[in-house]
Amino acid sequence: MSLVVYLAAGVLALSAVVLFRRPRTVLREPSALRNPLTVSTCVAITLGALVFVCSAPMTLAAVNDLTGIPNFGAPLTYGMLSAYSCSLLILLINWRGGPPERVRRLVLRSIAVYGPLIVAVVVLFALADADTERLTDLDTYYADTPYMREMIVLYLLGHSAVMVAMAVVCVRWGREVTGLLRTGLRLIFIGAVLDVAGFQLTKYTAVVARWTGHDLDFLSTSIAPPMASLAALICSAGFLLPRLLPAAVAHWRGLGDYRRLGPLWSRVGFVSTAPKPPASWWQLPQARLHWREVSIHDALLALAPYFDDRIRERAYAAAVGAGRTPHEARVAAEAAMLDAAACRAAAREEPLDRPSAYRLHATEVSGTGGLVELAQALARTPAADTVREGTVRAFPG
């Protein structure tokens, strides 16, 4: 069972690291440490991972041996679980948002409730007589033991309150939102229901069975742990999906645009004076794309004195004659003019006496769409020295 629990903890910890290291997609977006939603999400997921680590039988045995106190891992795990429950409430509060004063007030209320609960768990354990070490069935073994009984019920009630509240909020809020946020809320709702039904109800049933003289310990030892792991993973996916998926899609598209700009960059990059950032294997596609976009615009500016309107006009007429739309013909003509300008600059020729005042389409539109169009047209453009002669020779990729 320890392996399954450690695996769940590892997945949660990795999710927290990915979210914390998530790059800002816009310049005005606050850094991770200044974003309450990111911080609360990372804290909640990290605490969830720690709960699983602490609840593993191997960890419990190690903690008990290290402290010399039988079952010391129990209040540690239950206190950590209560802190995790509190962090989920705070995360939900930050996610829902609202006036800062209201958010702060609700967060302090949550801490005010679960702080004493954690203290009560530790105090009740200290008052109880629990000298027999139990690594997998402590809840049912000590279900009738004074103080331990109250401690077990207390941590279960604290966790149940949070999961029920999360399920209710997800249902209500899900009616008001759409898209990824609604999908995330549905995942959180499924995780909360699975936690209540698969973990808490099985625990309650096993404990109550002990109170009535029956033995249903398998519910607590065999069913509850994997259900809790699955519920936590689903809830975490619900919190992470609306935050990570848009950035992942943006970076995937950025990688595609970066590659599609290759023909344009290989043709004009030699004249760019934009400072190159230090090469880093972990540099994300959006950062690479931004640097390439800036560098290409810098190169286009440097090549402007070499632009020849006659080449562009001849190429435009040829493209229109070939059945292209006016926009396609314009981009193809610009690519031919740019290719000729790059050839002159590479040959160290002097700029034209009367350089063109023409503006490329790629410099008139925002984003990388115009540059991508120009790059794809440039990949199909005949070499500049043959354009003047009216012949066709493919320009190598």
Inside any domain, residue 262: no
User: Are 329 and 376 members of one domain?
Assistant: yes
User: Are 137 and 212 members of one domain?
Assistant: yes
Q: How many domains does the chain have?
A: 2
User: Are 339 and 231 members of one domain?
Assistant: no
User: Are 243 and 301 members of one domain?
Assistant: no
The Cα 389–Cα 311 span in angstroms is 10
Query: How far is CA 301 from each of CA 179, 347, 357, rounded to the nearest angstrom?
Result: 41, 18, 11
User: Are 73 and 212 members of one domain?
Assistant: yes
pTM of the full structure: 0.70
User: Are 203 and 292 members of one domain?
Assistant: no
Inside any domain, residue 300: yes
pLDDT on residue 60 = 92
Q: What is the 3-state secondary structure (H, E, C) of the chain?
A: CHHHHHHHHHHHHHHHHHHHCCCCCCCCCCCHHHCHHHHHHHHHHHHHHHHHHHHCHHHHHHHHHHHCCCCCHHHHHHHHHHHHHHHHHHHHHHHHCCCHHHHHHHHHHHHHHHHHHHHHHHHHHHHCCCCCCCCCCHHHHCCCCCCHHHHHHHHHHHHHHHHHHHHHHHHHHHCCCCHHHHHHHHHHHHHHHHHHHHHHHHHHHHHHHHHCCCCCHHHHHHHHHHHHHHHHHHHHHHHHHHHHHHHHHHHHHHHHHHHHCHHHHHHHHHHCCCCCCCCCCCCCHHHHHHHHHHHHHHHHHHHHHHCCHHHHHHHHHHHHHCCCCHHHHHHHHHHHHHHHHHHHHHCCCCCCCCCCCCCCHHHCCCCCHHHHHHHHHHHCCECHHHHCCCCCCECCC
Q: Give me 14's structure tokens.
A: 């990795």
Dihedral of CA 253/258/262/268: which sign? positive
The Cα 86–Cα 106 span in angstroms is 11
Q: Tell me, what amino acid is at 308?
A: D
The Cα 253–Cα 371 span in angstroms is 14
User: Are 163 and 271 members of one domain?
Assistant: no
User: Are 220 and 322 members of one domain?
Assistant: no
The Cα 315–Cα 335 span in angstroms is 9
User: Are 85 and 170 members of one domain?
Assistant: yes
The Cα 267–Cα 377 span in angstroms is 12
Inside any domain, residue 258: no
Residue 40 CB: number of other CB atoms within 10 A?
21
Instruction: Say if CB 384 and CB 347 are below 8 A apart.
Output: no
Q: Taking the CA atoms of the chain, what radius of gyration do you get in angstroms?
A: 32
Residue 164 CB: number of other CB atoms within 10 A?
15
Choose the final residue of a domain: 216, 247, 278.
247
Choose the final residue of a domain: 247, 282, 307.
247
Q: What is the pLDDT along the chain (397 residues), one digit of tens a residue?
A: 556 667 767 777 777 676 666 544 443 444 445 678 888 888 888 898 888 888 888 999 999 999 999 999 999 999 999 999 999 899 888 888 889 899 999 999 999 999 999 999 999 999 999 999 999 899 999 999 999 999 999 999 999 999 999 899 889 888 888 888 899 899 999 999 999 999 999 999 999 999 999 999 999 999 998 898 888 889 888 888 887 788 778 878 888 988 999 899 888 888 887 676 655 545 677 778 888 888 999 999 999 999 999 999 999 999 999 899 999 999 999 999 999 999 999 988 888 888 778 889 988 888 888 999 999 998 887 554 433 333 333 333 3
Q: Measure the N-to-C terminal CA separation of the chain; round to a whole number of Å.
A: 56
Q: Give me 264's structure tokens.
A: 């344009």
Instruction: Say if CB 234 and CB 197 are below 8 A apart.
Output: no
User: Are 321 and 182 members of one domain?
Assistant: no
Instruction: Say if CB 165 and CB 157 are below 8 A apart.
Output: no
Inside any domain, residue 30: yes
Inside any domain, residue 255: no
Inside any domain, residue 253: no
> Domain of 350?
267-387
The angle, 0 to 180 degrees and rounded to 10, between the axes of the packed helices 148-174 and 201-211 is 150
Q: Give the CATH number of the domain where residue 42 resides.
A: 1.20.1070.10
The Cα 313–Cα 322 span in angstroms is 14
Choose the final residue of a domain: 194, 215, 247.
247
User: Are 210 and 271 members of one domain?
Assistant: no
Inside any domain, residue 208: yes
Inside any domain, residue 76: yes
